[in-house]
């Protein structure tokens, strides 16, 4: 069910929204609805959340650290020490 909503915003924001809607070929209502329907990307983020998001995106490309068992670590240490 569609319902009408009236918002009070600055004139410059309305002008920017209209330009964006024209460029994207969508109505302001469609843009507003899509913005709030996005579940993965919350609308309001703090600077800390933005920083954490950038860090996570950076770390996604990092190769995982190879782990060795204790026996393998001791064997490698002894081999380096006495070779």
Continuous H helices in 1-83: 11-24, 28-37, 47-60, 70-81
**pLDDT at residue 34 tops 90:** no
Mean predicted confidence (pLDDT) in 10-37? 89
Residue 9 lies in a domain: yes
Instruction: Report the share of the chain in percent with pLDDT over 90.
Output: 35
Domain carrying residue 29:
1-42
- Find where tokens 């860090």 sit: 55
The count of domains in the chain is 1
CATH of residue 16: 1.10.1220
* Token output for 81: 């020490």
Mean predicted confidence (pLDDT) in 4-18? 91
Q: Is the full-model pTM beyond 0.85? A: no
C-alpha closest to that of 53 among 39, 69, 35, 40: 40
Mean predicted confidence (pLDDT) in 2-16? 90
Residue 34 lies in a domain: yes
For residues 43 and 35, is the Cβ–Cβ distance under 8 A? Answer: yes
Specify the DSSP class assigned to residue 4: -
Give residue 15's pLDDT. Answer: 92
């Amino acid at each position: 069910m569609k319902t009408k909503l009236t918002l009070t915003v600055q004139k410059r924001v309305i002008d920017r929204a209209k330009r964006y809607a024209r460029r994207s070929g969508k109505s302001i209502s469609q843009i507003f609805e899509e913005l709030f329907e996005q579940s993965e990307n919350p609308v309001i983020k703090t600077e800390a959340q933005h920083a954490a998001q950038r860090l996570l995106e950076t770390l996604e490309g990092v190769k995982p650290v190879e782990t060795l068992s204790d026996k393998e670590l001791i064997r490698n240490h002894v081999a380096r020490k006495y070779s």
